[in-house]
């Protein structure tokens, strides 16, 4: 009898636990208010377009970038309700983003649910959601034909499994556990520099281009120096410094055959900067060579920014302005960095952090604008491929003749997105370095956790959206094949920006708490 009662009580408790997961029994006033706020923010974000959906005449809004934040802050239950309410209201208030009519709220709801589950240590259910949306894709004839399409969701499914035991721990780390300067974005910078070099290497396939060789050697050298510093490899540091010096010589030599006037002078000084920087790394008189290298860099950058300001004077677009501001902030950050690290003025440490953080944020914004412009061009060019007419297009400053989708992807799309991704990581590293300087906290683990969770959410949204596009909009195979690389990679950039925005919200919440943060 006792044994039967124990079994009955256990089963009853299990049923109640399952009900609590679906319908929370007790909610505080703060939880209700916070859920309402996040739902309202989701609805407002529906008015902000991010990218255009080709062939549909609708847009994808900035609400995609909020899905991970809603799931992380509210959890899988309240996050689901808040995302569903906000997305449903948004599709009515902003019909330009209602791609699937009244069903448009489903993808962001699924994304927020997946993020909440992954962030709150329910990785099995989160992975089950990702597997479920993948099975929906493969249940369609288009999905079976384009079986390789969900390569990015499969990648993040693997990342979720690899980091399954760490994501919940890293995302919920206390603020006082973040304190301490440890690495400050070194690995982000290394990955970004490597991707930029790889993009230039791919763009040179089929022809030798001396400035391209300079960029590839320079990025390889910088990556080697970063590895040598982290792993303490003096031999690697010398070899890498030699590559940087060679890149400076190649850049300056190649400039004489391509440029003239102020641009030639600016590129030549930049080449000299690389040589002086290499000497600073390997020489015993680091301070002297570093200051000379910094002076040359400032001269080159000032000249380049002057040329940029004059040439874009008639351009009313935001991209030239953000690029000008980003690199101005970066120059200021380098100056203050030298002042702080040479012990000239320790009080400038915080201002150095602000300058580098500003450079990172502005740099990310100019990358968003540039990516948006170039994505529109690439989408129109991909549609031209359906006519089977070869045409000439540009890729990182080099013209290529395109005759097929494969040639177009290899010659332009892959290098262009690799270059963008690399610069996004570089600017993200600058942001992490800046935050480490004025807040004295390290964000590596938190950034990795939030990035994986964001990718999981955004790509779950993408795959359920693709299923609805096939069922509701009746899109054909050609659209998915043409944009095989563009749509998933666009979601990757959304993941980066969602990570940057989310960490910007999470860090103050960890430090001040919700109530004090709202007061501030």
- The per-residue pLDDT for range 458-468, each reduced to its tens digit, is 999 989 988 98
Q: What is the pLDDT of residue 284?
A: 62
pLDDT band at 12 (very low <50, low <70, confident <90, very high): very low
Q: Select from 418, 440, 462 the last residue of a domain.
A: 440
- Domain at 48, CATH number: 1.10.1760
Over range 23-51, report the average pLDDT.
79
Q: What is the pLDDT of residue 59?
A: 79
Q: What is the pLDDT of residue 517?
A: 45
Asked if residues 450 and 72 have their Cβ atoms less than 8 Å apart, the reply is: yes
Q: What is the pLDDT of residue 111?
A: 92
Q: 3-state class of 520 per DSSP?
A: coil
Is 214 inside a domain boundary?
A: yes
Lowest mean pLDDT among 117-131, 260-274, 342-356, 373-387: 373-387
Q: Could you tell me if 188 and 243 lie in one domain?
A: yes
Q: How far is CA 250 from CA 70, 176, 217, 267, 440, in A?
A: 49, 47, 9, 11, 39
Q: What is the pLDDT of residue 308?
A: 60
Domain containing residue 133: 33-177+451-519
Residue that wins the pLDDT comparison between 410 and 12: 410
Q: Is the pLDDT of residue 518 over 50?
A: no
CA–CA separation, 191 vs 382, rounded Å?
29
CA–CA separation, 162 vs 167, rounded Å?
10
Is 10 inside a domain boundary?
A: no
Nearest to 453 by CA among 183, 194, 172, 178: 172
Q: What is the pLDDT of residue 270?
A: 74
Q: What is the pLDDT of residue 132?
A: 94
Q: Is the pLDDT of residue 114 over 90?
A: yes
Q: Which H or E run contains 61?
A: strand 58-61
Over range 426-445, report the average pLDDT.
75
Q: Select from 413, 440, 467 the last residue of a domain.
A: 440
Is 16 inside a domain boundary?
A: no
Tokens of 251: 């850049």
Tokens of 237: 């540091």
Q: Which H or E run contains 223?
A: helix 210-231
Over range 43-64, report the average pLDDT.
79
478 CB contacts (<8 Å, ≥6 apart)?
A: 386
CA–CA separation, 404 vs 412, rounded Å?
12
Over range 242-267, report the average pLDDT.
75
- CA angle (95, 99, 101) in 5-degree steps: 70
CA–CA separation, 441 vs 179, rounded Å?
4
Q: Could you tell me if 396 and 417 lie in one domain?
A: yes
Q: Is the pLDDT of residue 70 over 80?
A: yes
CA–CA separation, 502 vs 504, rounded Å?
5
Q: Residues 475-480: contacts with CB within 8 Å, 24+ apart?
A: 475/55, 475/56, 475/142, 476/142, 477/142, 477/145, 477/146, 478/386, 479/54, 479/55, 480/142, 480/146, 480/149
306 CB contacts (<8 Å, ≥6 apart)?
A: 262
Q: Could you tell me if 286 and 419 lie in one domain?
A: yes
Nearest to 445 by CA among 165, 160, 159, 169: 169
Q: Could you tell me if 457 and 426 lie in one domain?
A: no
Q: Could you tell me if 205 and 298 lie in one domain?
A: yes
Count of structural domains within the chain: 2
- Cα torsion through 361, 365, 370, 376, rounded to 10: 140
CA–CA separation, 186 vs 433, rounded Å?
9
Is 217 inside a domain boundary?
A: yes
Q: Could you tell me if 363 and 301 lie in one domain?
A: yes
pLDDT band at 336 (very low <50, low <70, confident <90, very high): confident
Q: Is the pTM of the predicted complex or chain greater than 0.85?
A: no
Q: Mean pLDDT for the chain?
A: 76
Is 7 inside a domain boundary?
A: no
Residue that wins the pLDDT comparison between 77 and 295: 77
Nearest to 124 by CA among 152, 153, 156, 160: 160
Q: 3-state class of 49 per DSSP?
A: strand
Beta-strand relationship, 58-61 and 391-395: unpaired
CA–CA separation, 189 vs 192, rounded Å?
5
Asked if residues 190 and 227 have their Cβ atoms less than 8 Å apart, the reply is: yes
Asked if residues 66 and 458 have their Cβ atoms less than 8 Å apart, the reply is: no
Q: What is the pLDDT of residue 6?
A: 33
Q: 3-state class of 409 per DSSP?
A: helix
Q: Could you tell me if 407 and 487 lie in one domain?
A: no
CA–CA separation, 269 vs 263, rounded Å?
10
CA–CA separation, 498 vs 450, rounded Å?
9
Tokens of 285: 């008189």
Residue that wins the pLDDT comparison between 280 and 176: 280
268 CB contacts (<8 Å, ≥6 apart)?
A: 252, 255
Give me the half-sphere count of Cα atoms (radius 13 Å) on the Cβ side of residue 138: 11
Note the pLDDT tens digit of each residue in 295-319: 777 777 676 666 666 655 444 466 6
Q: What is the pLDDT of residue 441?
A: 63
Is 222 inside a domain boundary?
A: yes
Q: Could you tell me if 103 and 136 lie in one domain?
A: yes
pLDDT band at 209 (very low <50, low <70, confident <90, very high): low
Is 18 inside a domain boundary?
A: no
CA–CA separation, 244 vs 241, rounded Å?
5
- CA angle (415, 416, 418) in 5-degree steps: 65
The label of the residue with tokens 């980003």 reads 326
Q: Could you tell me if 266 and 133 lie in one domain?
A: no
Phi, psi (5° rounding) for residue 36? -65, -40
Is 12 inside a domain boundary?
A: no
pLDDT band at 88 (very low <50, low <70, confident <90, very high): very high
Q: What is the pLDDT of residue 115?
A: 92
CA–CA separation, 303 vs 432, rounded Å?
28
Tokens of 167: 């994501």
136 CB contacts (<8 Å, ≥6 apart)?
A: 143, 463, 464, 467
Q: Is the pLDDT of residue 274 over 90?
A: no
CA–CA separation, 442 vs 520, rounded Å?
23
Q: Could you tell me if 88 and 165 lie in one domain?
A: yes
Over range 198-209, report the average pLDDT.
68
Q: 3-state class of 399 per DSSP?
A: strand
Partnered with residue 255 across adjacent β-strands are: none
Q: Is the pLDDT of residue 133 over 70?
A: yes
Q: Is the pLDDT of residue 510 over 80?
A: no
Among 2-6, 95-99, 154-158, 358-362, which range has the highest average pLDDT?
Answer: 154-158
Note the pLDDT tens digit of each residue in 472-494: 887 777 777 767 677 777 788 78
Q: Could you tell me if 231 and 359 lie in one domain?
A: yes
Over range 73-101, report the average pLDDT.
88
Q: Select from 440, 474, 493 the last residue of a domain.
A: 440
Among 84-93, 169-178, 330-339, 495-504, which range has the highest average pLDDT?
Answer: 84-93
Q: Could you tell me if 170 and 188 lie in one domain?
A: no
């Amino acid at each position: 009898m006792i044994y039967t009662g124990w079994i009955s009580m256990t089963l009853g408790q299990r049923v109640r636990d399952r009900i609590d997961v679906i319908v929370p029994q007790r909610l505080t006033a703060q939880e209700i208010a916070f859920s309402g706020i996040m739902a309202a923010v989701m609805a407002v974000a529906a008015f902000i377009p991010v990218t255009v959906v080709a062939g549909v005449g609708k847009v994808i809004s900035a609400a995609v970038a909020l899905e991970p934040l809603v799931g992380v802050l509210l959890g899988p239950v309240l996050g689901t309700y808040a995302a569903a309410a906000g997305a449903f209201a948004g599709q009515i208030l902003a019909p330009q983003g209602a791609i699937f009519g009244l069903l448009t709220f489903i993808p962001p709801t699924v994304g927020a649910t997946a993020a909440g589950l992954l962030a709150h240590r329910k990785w099995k259910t989160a992975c089950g959601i990702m597997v479920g949306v993948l099975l929906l894709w493969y249940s369609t004839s288009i999905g079976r034909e384009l079986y390789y399409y969900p390569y990015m969701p499969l990648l993040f499914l693997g990342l979720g499994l690899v980091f399954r035991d760490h994501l919940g721990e890293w995302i919920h780390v206390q603020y006082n556990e973040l304190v301490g300067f440890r690495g400050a974005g070194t690995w982000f910078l290394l990955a970004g520099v490597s991707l930029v070099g790889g993009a230039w290497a791919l763009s040179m396939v089929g022809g030798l281009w001396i400035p391209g060789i300079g960029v590839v050697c320079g990025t390889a050298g910088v990556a080697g120096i970063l590895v040598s510093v982290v792993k303490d490899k003096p031999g690697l540091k010398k070899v890498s410094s030699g590559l940087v010096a060679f890149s400076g010589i190649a850049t300056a030599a190649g400039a004489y055959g391509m440029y003239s006037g102020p641009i030639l002078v600016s590129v030549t000084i930049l080449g000299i900067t690389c040589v002086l920087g290499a000497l600073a790394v390997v020489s015993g008189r680091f301070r002297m060579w570093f200051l000379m290298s910094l002076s040359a860099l400032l001269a080159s950058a000032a000249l380049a920014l002057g040329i940029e300001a004059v040439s874009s004077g008639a351009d009313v677009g935001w991209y030239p302005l953000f690029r000008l501001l980003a690199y101005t902030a970066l120059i200021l950050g380098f100056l203050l960095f030298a002042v702080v690290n040479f012990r000239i003025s320790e009080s400038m440490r915080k201002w150095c952090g602000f300058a580098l953080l500003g450079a990172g944020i502005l740099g990310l914004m100019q990358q968003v604008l540039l990516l948006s412009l170039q994505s529109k061009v690439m989408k129109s060019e991909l549609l031209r491929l359906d006519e089977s007419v070869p045409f000439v297009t540009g890729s990182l400053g080099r013209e290529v003749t395109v005759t097929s989708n494969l040639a177009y992807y290899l010659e332009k799309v892959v290098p262009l997105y690799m270059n963008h991704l690399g610069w996004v990581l570089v600017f993200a590293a600058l942001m992490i370095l800046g935050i480490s300087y004025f807040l004295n906290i390290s964000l590596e683990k938190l950034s990795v956790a939030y990035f994986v969770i964001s990718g999981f959410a955004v790509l779950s949204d993408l795959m359920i959206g693709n299923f609805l596009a096939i069922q509701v909009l009746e899109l054909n195979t050609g659209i998915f094949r043409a944009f095989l690389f563009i749509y998933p990679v666009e979601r990757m950039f959304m993941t980066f920006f969602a990570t940057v925005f989310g960490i910007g919200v999470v860090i103050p919440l960890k430090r001040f708490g919700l109530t004090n943060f709202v007061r501030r």
